[in-house]
Structure 1
Amino acid sequence: MAFKLVISEDSKSHQVEVDTAKDKKLIGLKIGDEIDASLVGLDGYKLKITGGSDKNGFPMKTDVEGPRRIKSLLSSGLGFKPKRDGQRRRKTIRGNTISVDIVQINTIVTEKGAKSIDELLGASEAEE
């Protein structure tokens, strides 16, 4: 199984695949945690986890603790856009902790390195 790590920088986004069999450093982290991006080949960069989704497409939400999946009554926000005032709906959402069931992890750049992400990712793609 592999994570798709989506890295957003200004108006650009980059997608990197991280193998969980080799690197289990992401499992157990929560939304809002900062990670060193050198584990995906981006030396000097720091990334902040902003969300993600699991293998069935359910989004991660910061309010729900742990890696569990629950049905929550939502009136607005992540996972539900109400069509009229006062509308609520029970939707399935995932907790804020990364587990093996998570497929996509969304991140933003909080600290930039010496080289650009395009240069660092382009060099790693050329080697493969």
Structure 2
Amino acid sequence: MLKHIKFNKRSLIRWKVYIDRARMYIGYLQFFMIGFVFFESFREESIGELIFNHLYLSIPILFLAFIFLSLIIGYIDSKMGFREEELRNSSYSNPMFREIYENLQEVKMELQQLKEKEQFRKPH
């Protein structure tokens, strides 16, 4: 049966990208579910009663607190340079990026050689 199914590499990669993107959104949903379970564990406590008795007020406050904390963590992450280093490592393993980088290095070297020849030709 699998003999008749032809696997197109590009289609498989595209499907993988779709699955990865869906996984990201599922991760958001899981995060909010874990948050709900966390707050649910406080239901019998005074803070839990305050949260669950005033959901119309506590949900927007918790959502804004989540956004604020996410922005702070993202800002710290950016300032520390983790994202740039992650992208650098990821890009280096990308064959197209390596090819572009090698071509750019060749162009730089040729430009440097042309500049040196031009300086050699100029009378002092």
Question: Do the two structures share a fold, i.e. TM-score over 0.5?
Answer: no
Q: Give the number of the structure with larger relative contact order, counting CA–CA contacts within 8 Å between residues 6 or more apart.
A: 1
Higher strand share: 1
TM range (shorter): under 0.3
What is the TM-score normalised by the length of structure 2? 0.21
Higher helix share: 2
